[in-house]
Amino acid sequence: MASGPDLRTQVGIVGAGPAGLLLSHLLAQRGIDSVLVEDRSRAYCEARQRAGVLEAGSVTLLREAGLAGRLDREGLEHGGIYLQFAGERRHLDFQDLTGRSVTVYAQTEVVKDLIAARVATGGHLEFEVSGTEVADLDTGRPLLRYTTREGTRTEVACDAIAGCDGFHGICRPSFPAGLLTAVEREYPYAWLGILADVPPSTDELIYAHHAHGFALHSLRSPLLSRLYLQVEPDDDIAAWPDERIWAELQTRFALPGWELKEGPILDKGITPMRSFVSSPMRYGRLFLAGDAAHIVPPTGAKGLNLAMSDVAVLADALAGLLGGDPRRADAYSDTCLDRVWRCTHFSWWMTSMLHATPGADTMEAALQLAQLRYVTTSRAAATSLAENYTGYQPPR
């Protein structure tokens, strides 16, 4: 006789990135229990260098969930950015244009805070699992299966499953064949990102357009800088010794009277860039959120913020569904995709305006410069950029 499931929970969550972790908190706040499984170790999840800019709405969400103690103490509020092009650096004042700002606080810190708070409140988190599977998705009792770190194969009976397992996860491929539509674009460039042990050389982020390619000066704290360089998509990090990285950053940010301070590089890596939207974001009792359903190129810092706004919608949708009202769950995919497409457009637009395309004609660079002059001189154009950067919520 087949044995029944080993565990029972209301929501099975796959993935301990920002989406899965925040969802487990938002559900707990609504009195809904969950089991979250992650195939990496806790230390790995807490160290993975990724995004760093939180929209005002993401900060509010974390604050309202009681998760912003350290963010409020250590996060750096930024009221604007610089756009650098044609030998000039122009400031865009988001506060003046929209009354809103963003907060620089690393994704690694968000993840550490979310894990610590979940562990402190007795949340069920399982790291270093393997063989994750989801099944019976079109029934009222979907199943989550995994092998624990100790090697025990485990089956969890759930009311719903949240696929928060990123672009390479197993949840999106678990949709029945033919149900998903994926729209995708790969870009002919990648970002080389470094974390450097040196105080930032700037008070606000600098997005630089340069003939050699895009560069971004961001930061992590008053003592740590985060910088990015556009490189070739197939570039090997071994071809970028520290001296070459600094030399290229010096060239792309050069401005008379301004100095880029250098320091030891603590972490470096290359990330490919793509736009990808898969829809719908739900099949039966399986709901996708964050990078599992969509990817944006990093220019404009939307990936993390989209993951967080998806799960804010999902927590309410699941609370309704489990309480007997399926309306928000039925609307989940369309509700999220409105904002996903807005951010997909913004990220594509910022990427296209700022990167040098290999082999492009002189027309492309001239059009980029025309657009950069427009967004830094027209209040209407600047306001549109600022509204999107600080977080635009399409009306429903």
Q: What residues contact 345, with CB distance under 8 A and at least 6 apart?
A: none
From 105, 187, 189, 207, the catalytic residue:
207
Nearest-angstrom CA–CA distance, 281 and 318: 14
CB 318 within 8 A of CB 329: yes
340: closest CA among 369, 314, 322? 314
Site string for ligand FAD, 44-63 (x = CB under 6 A): -x----xx------------
Binding window for ligand DHB (CB under 6 A); candidates: 48-56, 66-74, 86-94, 316-324: 48-56
5 part of the active site: no
226 binds, among ligand DHB, ligand FAD, none (CB under 5 to 8 A by kind): ligand DHB
For residue 86, give the DSSP letter.
T
What angle is formed at CA 290 by the lines to CA 109 and CA 80, rounded to 5 degrees? Answer: 55
Sign of the C-alpha dihedral computed for residues 66, 68, 73 and 76 taken in this order: negative
78 part of the active site: yes
Instruction: Specify the residue, 98 or 333, whose C-beta has the smaller distance to ligand DHB.
Output: 98
248 binds, among ligand FAD, ligand DHB, none (CB under 5 to 8 A by kind): none
226 binds ligand DHB (CB under 6 A): yes
Window 149 to 188, contacts with ligand DHB (CB under 6 A): none
298 part of the active site: yes
CB 215 within 8 A of CB 230: yes
Instruction: Tokens for 234, please give them.
Output: 């197939």
Smallest gap from Cβ 1 to ligand DHB, in A, equals 54
Nearest-angstrom CA–CA distance, 347 and 324: 37
19 binds, among ligand FAD, ligand DHB, none (CB under 5 to 8 A by kind): ligand FAD
Smallest gap from Cβ 129 to ligand DHB, in A, equals 28
91: closest CA among 386, 393, 390? 386
112 part of the active site: no
Window 120 to 139, contacts with ligand DHB (CB under 6 A): none
299 binds ligand DHB (CB under 6 A): yes
Scanning the structure block, which residue is given the tokens 């007795």? 122
Q: Which residues are catalytic?
A: 78, 207, 298, 302, 389
Footprint of ligand DHB (CB under 6 A): 51-53, 205, 216, 218, 226, 298-301
